[in-house]
């Protein structure tokens, strides 16, 4: 098949998922065309069946806001026509679903039908999408997609609650390449972070408000009082300084390393003992799944779809949003001795296999085939 993929090219989960999906499809022999404003971060190296088309947004002094959506729709028309694409798969509704709708209508006038599949990822529905400045366009373009998928049951249900959607939303869970995450820890790296063999806790995100990174610091503070430990913060974003300030206030700043945005998550996760995800909401929590695939148990909130991947008492624990005391106790219960920790690590790795890339890619292929 010749497939067009539109996504955000950044470190966000939806972009990561879309890029890994495209790469996996290309490996299976499909021709995959990424259409984004910048090379997706996980699209590194040369891959024979992968093509990249950059969306150029022409500016003009009149534009306070360069019209990206228009530029994207025009690029889609061009790429679909010139590369004879069979279908378009857009990730994250805003503004990708509406740009795809526009491209579809333009092509229809020229006699070409292009099926559009929209995958909803989370904040495009629950946070930004429901805002009245976007909601009518989001609902319209979702409803006019040929197929809609959501990355968890929770997101599917939330979408039906928030919008009037007139067609079925299929759940296709996010996936992880389990083999890639089964790395041996690099001893030298572990020693730099935890020279005295301390436990290593980790959080990775875009440090947006929804992630409640201050709760991560609070939990770490309580854990480190009982068990010698270190905290690795991966990623960056608007709430980083809040986390830093709180860490200084609580006197744990020196035990924390902020390593910034990283591509080699598998190497970093390999040295971690526990992953913390304290979000207000996660449709899925891809970062937690990647941690589990690397054999790292997860203490998370029970918000959104997190309970669909993190199994309480098996792969980690789930607490209420903001209940840092409870989540600290949960973390301590996992980290208290080597035997308990080993059990959680093994079960986390085992459970992640249910979401292995090899199970999920065929579901997307089956969906695509319906439109050919
Ligand atoms: O979490 C974010 O702020 C980024 C966002 C994105 O669109 O990249 O993540 C969403 O999509 C991911 C991939 O499907 C999910 O794993 C995340 O749970 C979801 N984030 C939220 O729902 C907050």
Q: How many helices (H) and strands (E) does the chain have?
A: 16, 13
Q: What is the pLDDT of residue 254?
A: 97
Query: Residue for token digits 């695509």?
Result: 368
Q: What is the pLDDT of residue 370?
A: 97
Q: Residues for the chain: how many in total?
A: 372
Does any ligand 1 atom lie closer than 6 A to the CB of residue 305?
no
CA 272, 274, 279, 285 torsion-angle sign:
positive
Q: What is the pLDDT of residue 12?
A: 87
Q: 229 and 254 in contact (C-beta within 8 Å)? A: no
pLDDT for 289-303, tens place per residue? 999 999 999 999 999
Q: Give CA–CA dist 225/55, Å, rounded.
A: 50
Q: Which atom of ligand 1 is nearest to the CA of 92?
A: 7
pLDDT at 252 over 80: yes
Structural domains of the chain, ranges and CATH numbers in brackets: 2-175+356-369 (3.40.50.2000), 178-355 (3.40.50.2000)
pLDDT at 186 over 90: no
Does any ligand 1 atom lie closer than 6 A to the CB of residue 283?
yes
Classified as helix, coil or strand, 258 is: strand
Q: Give CA–CA dist 240/267, Å, rounded.
A: 22
Q: Where are the beta strands (DSSP E) in the chain?
A: 2-6, 31-36, 50-54, 87-91, 116-120, 147-150, 169-171, 199-204, 229-234, 256-260, 274-277, 298-301, 316-319
Separation of 283 CA from ligand 1 center, angstroms?
A: 6
Q: What is the pLDDT of residue 45?
A: 84
Does any ligand 1 atom lie closer than 6 A to the CB of residue 294?
no
pTM of the model: 0.95
Does any ligand 1 atom lie closer than 6 A to the CB of residue 122?
yes
What is the rounded average pLDDT for all residues in the chain?
96
Separation of 198 CA from ligand 1 center, angstroms?
A: 30
Give the residue from 131, 55, 46, 124 showing the smallest Cα distance to 92. Answer: 124
Confidence band (pLDDT; 50, 70, 90) for 185? Answer: confident
Separation of 126 CA from ligand 1 center, angstroms?
A: 10
pLDDT for 69-127, tens place per residue? 999 999 999 999 999 999 999 999 999 999 999 999 999 999 999 999 999 999 999 98
For residue 265, CA distances in Å to 75, 152, 298 come to 32, 23, 15
For the segment 29-56, the average pLDDT, to the nearest whole number, is 95
Does any ligand 1 atom lie closer than 6 A to the CB of residue 93?
no
For the segment 349-356, the average pLDDT, to the nearest whole number, is 98
**198, burial (CB in 10 Å: exposed 0-12, middle 13-18, buried 19+):** middle
In this structure, the number of other CB atoms found within 10 A of the CB of residue 249 comes to 11
Does any ligand 1 atom lie closer than 6 A to the CB of residue 96?
no
Q: Give CA–CA dist 131/70, Å, rounded.
A: 21
Q: Which atom of ligand 1 is nearest to the CA of 283?
A: 22
Does any ligand 1 atom lie closer than 6 A to the CB of residue 278?
no
């Amino acid at each position: 098949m010749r497939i067009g993929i539109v996504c955000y090219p950044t470190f966000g989960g939806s972009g990561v998922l879309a890029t890994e999906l495209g790469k996996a499809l290309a490996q299976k022999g499909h021709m995959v065309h990424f259409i984004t404003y910048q090379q997706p971060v996980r699209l590194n190296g040369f891959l024979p069946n992968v093509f990249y088309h950059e969306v150029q947004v022409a500016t003009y002094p009149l534009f306070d806001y360069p019209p990206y959506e228009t530029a994207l729709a025009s690029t889609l028309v061009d790429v679909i026509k010139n590369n004879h694409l069979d279908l378009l798969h857009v990730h994250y509704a805003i503004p990708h679903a509406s740009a795809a709708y526009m491209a579809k209508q333009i092509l229809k006038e020229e006699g070409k039908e292009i099926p559009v599949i929209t995958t909803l990822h989370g904040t495009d529905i629950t946070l930004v999408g429901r805002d009245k400045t976007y909601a009518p366009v989001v609902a319209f373009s979702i409803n006019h997609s040929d197929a809609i998928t959501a990355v968890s049951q929770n997101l599917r249900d939330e979408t039906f609650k928030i919008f009037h959607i007139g067609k079925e939303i299929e759940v296709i869970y996010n996936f992880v390449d389990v083999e890639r995450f089964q790395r041996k820890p690099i001893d030298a790296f572990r020693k730099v972070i935890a020279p005295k063999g301390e436990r290593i806790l980790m959080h990775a995100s875009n440090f947006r408000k929804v992630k409640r990174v201050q709760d991560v610091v609070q939990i770490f503070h309580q854990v480190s009082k009982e068990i010698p430990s270190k905290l690795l913060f991966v990623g960056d974003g608007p709430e980083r300084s809040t986390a830093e300030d709180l860490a200084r206030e609580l006197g744990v700043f020196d035990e924390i390393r902020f390593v910034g945005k990283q591509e080699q998550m598998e190497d970093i996760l390999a040295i971690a003992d526990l992953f913390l995800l304290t979000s207000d909401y996660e449709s899925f929590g891809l970062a937690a799944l990647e941690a589990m695939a690397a054999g790292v148990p997860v203490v998370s909130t029970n918000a959104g779809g997190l309970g669909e991947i993190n199994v309480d008492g098996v792969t980690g624990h789930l607490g209420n949003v903001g209940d840092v005391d409870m989540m600290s106790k949960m973390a301590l219960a996992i980290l208290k001795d080597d035997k308990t920790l080993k059990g959680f690590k093994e079960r986390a790795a085992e459970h992640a296999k249910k979401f292995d890339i090899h199970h999920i890619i065929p579901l997307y292929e089956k969906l695509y085939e319906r439109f050919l």
